[in-house]
Chains A and B, each alone.
Chain A
Amino acid sequence: MAGTSPAAAALPEPGIERPGSGAAGPRSMPDHPGAGARARWVRRVLRNRNVAVGGSVLVLLVFVALFADALSPYNPSRLYPAQRLRPPGGPNLLGTDEFGRDVLSLVLHGSRVSLLVGGVTMVLTSLGGVVIGLIAGYYRRLDLVVMRVMDGLMAFPAILLAIALMAARGPGVWNVVLALSVVYLPRTAMLIRSTALSVRELDYVLAAQALGRGGLAIAFRHILPNCIGPLLVQGTFIFAYAVLAEAILGFLGVGVPPYVPSWGNVIASGKNVIREAFWVSLFPGVALTLSGLSLNLLGDGLRDVLDPRLRVQ
């Protein structure tokens, strides 16, 4: 359960990027992040091939999600029983499912739930992780209690904890976001805490203390900026895990309700008709794999740029 090596882009069970083992530490950020330095930094990130490829695919997916209504040839929630299980081709480019819904329209609309859940989970775990991690990393007295709770949450296999939380809260997009945020929050909190622990020993933090800065001000103004690199990398991977976990919950029937098209529940409905219509589960799965691939490439690329020491040889 300890931190994992760079290769452990485990889905959907993230490890922790450990600064001790070399996650983007203080050195990864410019000393004086002025406008010029920042522009150079952005250029360096964008020049990375993995970032460029993964980022482009992600932008495309976001575009699809935003304009799903305009791009879809049919309304994904309208049922056309007369046209059920049509093979790909003709008016239904990717075929139809057992209720006669157009698979292409379902896949295009499914991207909305996936990206919404993934994106919001990333933001919530980052915000929560920063607050909890900084407090635990800076206020040593709170550290013990907070970290035991985090250890406890991490002791559950991620998907099982998410299933259990969904069992209690019931189906719904926001319940999925909530469940996945609880599941993945400890990983970010541990990461920020360990970065904060290593940074707080540096001379400039001592100098800030000597100047009479308060604990919170030091934590947020001086320690937090050094956590941005690892946070960005971790956030990208959490995005990927959340997209996959959402699909798994949808597939198991405990995620978003069946009337909201999501890749997971379309794949589940394809399971029932796998003998006669393989395309129903095939295409949403391709979309899911593509989004996972783009986010993993983006995460790998960001890690390579933000912390060259962790680069996989």
Chain B
Amino acid sequence: MTTYLLRRLLALLPVMLVVVTIVFFLIHLIPGDPVAVILGPEANAQQIEDARRELGLDRPLHEQLLRFYGRLLRGDLGRSYFLDRPVTQALWERAEPTLVLMASGLFVAVLIGVPSGIVAGAYQGSWWDRGLMTLALLGVCVPGFWLSLNFIYLFSVWLGWLPVAGYASVFQDPVAAARHMVLPAVSLGFSQSALIARIARSCMIEVLRQDYIRTARAKGLAERTVVYLHAFRNALVPVVTVIGITMAILIGGAVVTEIVFNIPGLGRLIISAILRRDYPVVQGVVLVTAAAYMLINLAVDVVYAFIDPRIRYV
């Protein structure tokens, strides 16, 4: 297991290097002079020159790149122009809402997705199966941000059950936090639950065709016991990987959901940074989310290898 873990971690290094390099070049994709764009039309030539020196953009490209690597190795993501504080600090302050949102979204996704998929798979071809799978197809096609707006209209504006938008910290006011988080979590989790349901269903169908299930049926076990005791657990194993695969949807979805519900997380941070041309913050958010995405995927793979040892030797 340790060898497997080390091998996976080592494999991550070149990918991380490419990711960092891509993030570095983002600032060079700005058409024209990046410094002039960042400072806006009011800046004079002296200010532009000063900012260029401060950002190190007056140096040769390879030197800039090496300095960028060096800074990152020291954990320095630069300084936000607008917020006037280190980017790492800005990220740290905004991490909690995003993490809470993602965790609740994932919770909803698993809560809806796994049972739906298992039932649909166990009773393949039934009306349950057809209904749930039509719903899952819709779940994949309905845009999450639009669903959020409809939820807001229905549950907040019309019925008045839940707050329209905003965020309350779990640590300060858990009840308000839960009330604020219901709609964002459901809209974020819904499309992911559709994917989980579709995959849980095909895993269930796959497992129900195995010989040991035939044996269980042949020895006269009730269908219910066969499905829920014998097939269920093994069908769940591949579902673990789906969570890793769909993590990107969860991260991307969280950005959009934060905008819809005015949640002060990393998504709102990056969008406001773009509008203020605060590029270090944009680079910081992108880098941190990419790193988090890779690590989550690694964690999921490790969990999977732990559950199913055959994976380690592939």
Contact = CB atoms under 8 A, between A and B. Distances in A.
A244 B143 contact: yes
B106 to A, nearest CB: 14
A9 B242 CA distance: 12
Interface stretch (A87-95, A116-124, A147-155): A147-155
Interface in A228-281: 240, 244, 247-248, 251-254, 267, 270-271, 274-275, 278, 281
B246 A13 contact: yes
B41 interface: no
A170 interface: yes
Nearest to A313: B205
Contacts of B164: 275
B202 A152 contact: no
Interface stretch (A27-35, A38-46, A286-294): A286-294
A4 B285 CA distance: 26
A248 B248 contact: no
Interface stretch (B2-10, B79-87, B228-236, B274-282): B274-282
Interface stretch (A96-104, A156-164, A197-205, A212-220): A156-164
Contacts of B15: 148, 151-152, 155
B293 A157 contact: yes
A94 B146 CA distance: 17
B167 interface: no
Report, as a range, how many residues of chain A touch the other chain. 35 or more
B19 A163 contact: no
Given A7-B199, A15-B245, A254-B274, A159 B140 contact: no
A286 B216 CA distance: 47
Interface string B190-213: 010001001101100100000000
Interface string A158-188: 1111011111111000000000000000000
Contacts of B252: 12-13, 157-160, 248
Nearest to A244: B143
Nearest to B145: A251
A167 to B, nearest CB: 4
A282 interface: yes
Nearest to B20: A152
Contacts of B140: 9-11, 292, 296
B58 to A, nearest CB: 20
A155 B245 contact: no
Contact of B260 (A156, A254, A271): A271
B150 interface: yes
Nearest to A164: B286
Contacts of A166: 274
23 contacts: A2-B245, A5-B199, A11-B140, A12-B252, A149-B18, A155-B16, A157-B248, A160-B252, A160-B270, A163-B255, A163-B270, A163-B271, A164-B26, A167-B273, A240-B141, A252-B256, A252-B259, A271-B149, A275-B164, A278-B150, A292-B140, A292-B141, A293-B137
